[in-house]
Every structure is written in C-alpha cells, then in structure tokens.
Amino acid sequence: MALRCLGLMQRLIALTGLDMSDHLMKPHSAFSCMQMAMAGMALATLPVAASAQISTGAVGREIVQPLPSPEIERLNDALRRLARDSQDVSALTDAGDAALELGDLDAAMGFFGRAQEMSQANARAKMGMAAVFLRSGRPVDALRLFAEAEQAGASSDRVAADRGLAYDLVGNNAEAQNSYRAALAGGRNDETTRRLALSHAIAGNRQIFEATLLPLLQKRDYAAYRARAFGLAILGDEKEAASIVSASMPTDLASRIAPYLAYMPRLTKAQQAAAANLGVFPKAAEIGRDDPQIAQYATSAATAARRADSRLAPAGQPLDQGSGRRRSSSAPSSRLASVAQQQANAVQNFNLTQTSQPAKTTPPTQPSVADAFGNLGAAQPARPQASAGAVDIARITPPREVREEKPAKPAPPAHPSRIWVQVAAGRDRSALKFDWRRLERKAPDLLSKYKPHVVAVGQGHRLLAGPLSSDDAARDLINALKAQGVDSLRYTSPEGEEVNQIQ
C-alpha cells in the first residue's frame, strides 16, 4: 500500500513554501492565497501521523511519521477554518502566528499581509507584521507597526518584550529596558530577562547586567551562559567571555564563536544588540556603522530630544536673591528632563520621514555568521615613506608589449542559488525517501529525470526535484505534475543554503 499523505502541514508547505508571501500579497494573481489554502485543505481529513506497508516481494515494514508539533496543529486548525471561509481574518492571523513560531517568516508575512489587506485596522495583523520585521532586521518598521497596533487597540503589555528588543536594535537602551521591565511586571519570562541583561551590558552597566542574569545562571540556564559571554565581550572582557564559551559549548561551536567575541566592542550599540540577541553580525565593511535607516532614526530622535529640552529650559534673568525668593537654576530640573525624554520618545513612530515610503513586505536576507567577518584579517599595509632621490616605480609606464595578466576569476559559491520544484514536505527526513518513491510511481515520466533533494525549513524539511534550468522549466514541470495529480510549487534556494541529495 502506498505511503499515505504526511498530513495537512506537509501539504501546506508543499503548496506554499518560501514563495507563499508573493502569492498572498497579490490577491489578483492566478494562484492566490485562498486558492493555495483551499488546495492544501483537500487533504485535511487524512490522518497527520501516516503509516503504510511498503512491500518488497514477501518482506514488508511499517513506516510511521511522528505526530506534528503544537505549532503545526495550530496552523492546521487555522487552515481548516480558511477552507470554510476564505475571508476569516482571525484564521489568517492565527495562521501567521503559527508560521512565526515555526520560523517561516515569509509565510507569516504572507498571512499577516493578507489579513491587513482585508482589515486595515486589525491590531493582531499589525503586531504580527511588526514581529516579522523585528526578526528580519527591520526594527524601525517594527516600532512603527507596534505603535499602530496600540492605536488599533492592542494591549501594550503584549508588545512590550518585542518592542524592547526593537529599541535595543536601534540603539535606544533606556527605552528598551523600560519595555522589558514592563513585560516582566506581567510575569517571569527567561528570554525577556536575558534581553534585559544584555541591554544593560550594551549600556555599559556591568553590575546590573550580572545581577539580572544571576537567577538564570543559578538554575543552569545554558542560554544565560551564552548571554553572559556576549555581554562580557561587549563590555570588553574578551578573555572571560571566551572562557565561558569554551566551558559551556561544544568544541566546534565554541571555536566558531570565539573569534567574533573580540570584535563586539567595535560594533555600534544596535549591532551589538543584533549580534547578541539574534546572532546577526555585520559584514566586515559595516563594523561600527549603523544601517542608514537606523542612523536616520537615531538622529531624528536626538534632534527631537534637544528641541524638547530647549523648550523646557527656563529663560530670562534669574530672580533676585535679595527679594527672599529662591533663585531658579538655568538648567532644567530632573522632572523637566524626564518630560523632555518622554517627548523625545514620541518619535518612536518614525513618521518624520518614513510615512511617505511604504514598507516592503518581504524581509531582507541577513548575513550569516559564517561570512560575517570574512575579510577582517585583510589589513592594508602601510605605504612606506620614500627616501630622498628614490624612484616612484608607480609612475613608470610599462613597455607596450607587456600585457597585464587578467585577474583570476573568483571561485563559484559552494551552494549557489538554484531553482527547484517542491513536491512534498515533512518532519522526518528519512520518511521523505518513501514519499519520493510514491510520487515517482505516480509520475515516472516526469520525476525519473531528477534526483530527490531535501532542505530544512522550520522544524521540517522540503522534498525537492531538480535543480531546474529556469523559471519556465519549473513552471512546465509544475503544470505537468498537476495534470497527473501531484501538487507542487517552485522554490528558489538562496545562495549559501545547503540542499542535499537523498541517498
């Protein structure tokens, strides 16, 4: 008996994948969001944990696919509701939340974007899009959407922890710490505590940083050890940071992380927050230089703060001491400074220059840790001083017959970007081998030309056919498979993503 469907989530991934946001954000496309959801729901009644008997002569064995995670079950439920009502905004936001928990930012953005198209003032959709922007390195856009979500009725307690990280990612540690404390007032959360500690380290407060992490370290929270290593590196204690990494992490991982610790003090506050919280390091040429959007945001905030402070400062001649009245100070009081700071915080919406520029819906690709500091060691040698009477050989024109050697071509990337057709997906990579055999028997004239490949996505894997030579070739294969009852979609693997052949 052929292996049955791996479950609703597997077909959902097969029908959406990383390109799903393109379809979801284009309601007039030939293969729109709701069409994909309805196609995925065609197998909603099949069991999620599939088993089958694979026979080879007289020998057979049972293949059992593990049960889906709670996040996948929530996504399944949301898709069932969308199959009944494609206009269900609540189901779209539930699907976006589940995709966000699974780490599929493109799918989450697609669901949230579709929900916001249908309900412009939906607070949950705005909060979800803000969370996607935050995790994809766009904190200024995230702050704007958090503010819009609150204006639409979202509770400030629900966004406090993520908004705190957004403030850290634009270099505003004071507001970040206020947000973290507000979030922790509603209940203990280890992740928020680690973020608060790192924010104090970035601000240079080692004593508070250590005290904030201590309860987590006492219960042997390994993520807290990692946070302490990065915090100490930010504070300039590279030796102690390297010692913690060496003692608490596997040798191969420690050896890869240790070189980055030495560069932490050279990063901007925003870059330090991104590295310590998200594992996103700047490229070598960008060390110590903020992203232009973040730099512009910081400049706007500082300008607003100075203007507010100047308006609140007392003006005119001081009162006469001889009149018995107390003389005013020319500097603003601490209360006035606090009010000025509150006014400066009003620029968090970043509408000063950004409102006329629509936010992009597709998160940008972030540099990986592997290539973050690839050319740091390539220091430029100092040019020697010419002595008296020396000849500058750079000014000598070579003879005409001398040909300059062509520069060597750079080596091709180990994992270039390629085009594939995704035919299935599942959590158990070994079970996908049997899926391929089942599909190959269903469409032998099409799939026998290709080798099965897999690539990780969230907590599962994609099953890919290819690579294909072009988008047109992928589209032809998708249409041909559809005619034989096999649903599929185009998937483009980004440069650097490792796609492995199933042996």
Has this prediction a pTM greater than 0.75? no
Q: Tell me the pLDDT tens digit for each residue of 28-37.
A: 333 344 444 4
With residues binned 3-state (H G I as helix, E B as strand, rest as coil), the percentages for the chain, rounded to 5, are 55, 10, 40
418-501 CATH choice from 3.30.70.1070, 3.40.50.720, 3.40.50.300, 3.30.420.40: 3.30.70.1070
Q: What phi and psi, each to the nearest 5 degrees, are found at residue 46?
A: -75, 150
Model pLDDT, residue 146: 92
Q: pLDDT higher for 194 or 404?
A: 194
pLDDT over threshold 90, residue 174: yes
- Confidence at residue 269, expressed as pLDDT on a 0 to 100 scale: 95
CA distance 233 to 211: 17
- Residue length of the chain: 503
pLDDT of amino acid 64: 58
For position 20, what pLDDT does the model report?
40
* β-pair type (51-56, 59-64): antiparallel
Q: Could you tell me which residues are beta bridge partners of residue 438? A: none
What the block records as the tokens of 360 is: 């992009």
d(CA 439, CA 422): 12
- The CA distance from 438 to 458, in Å, is 24
pLDDT 10s digits, 46-68? 333 343 433 444 445 555 556 77
Higher pLDDT, 126 or 386: 126
Give the residue carrying structure tokens 């509770």. Answer: 155
- The answer to which of 20-24, 410-414, 464-468 has the lowest mean pLDDT is 20-24
**For position 191, what pLDDT does the model report?**
94
Segments making up each domain of the chain, as ranges: 418-501
pLDDT at 409: 62
Mean pLDDT of 38-43: 42
Residues 6+ away with beta carbon under 8 Å from 492: 18, 19, 417, 418, 419, 420
> What is the enclosing helix (H) or strand (E) of 463?
strand 460-468
How many Å apart are CA 192 and CA 269, to the nearest integer?
18
H or E stretch covering 477: helix 471-483
- What is the distance between the alpha carbons of residues 207 and 201, in angstroms, rounded to a whole number? 9
- Predicted pLDDT of residue 115: 93
Residue range 150-161: mean pLDDT, rounded? 86
* CA distance linking residue 140 with residue 354, whole number of Å: 9
CA distances from 311 to 124, 278, 338, 419 (A): 37, 39, 13, 59
What integer pLDDT is reported at residue 374 of this predicted model?
A: 47
Region of poorest pLDDT, from 219-228, 254-263, 388-397: 388-397
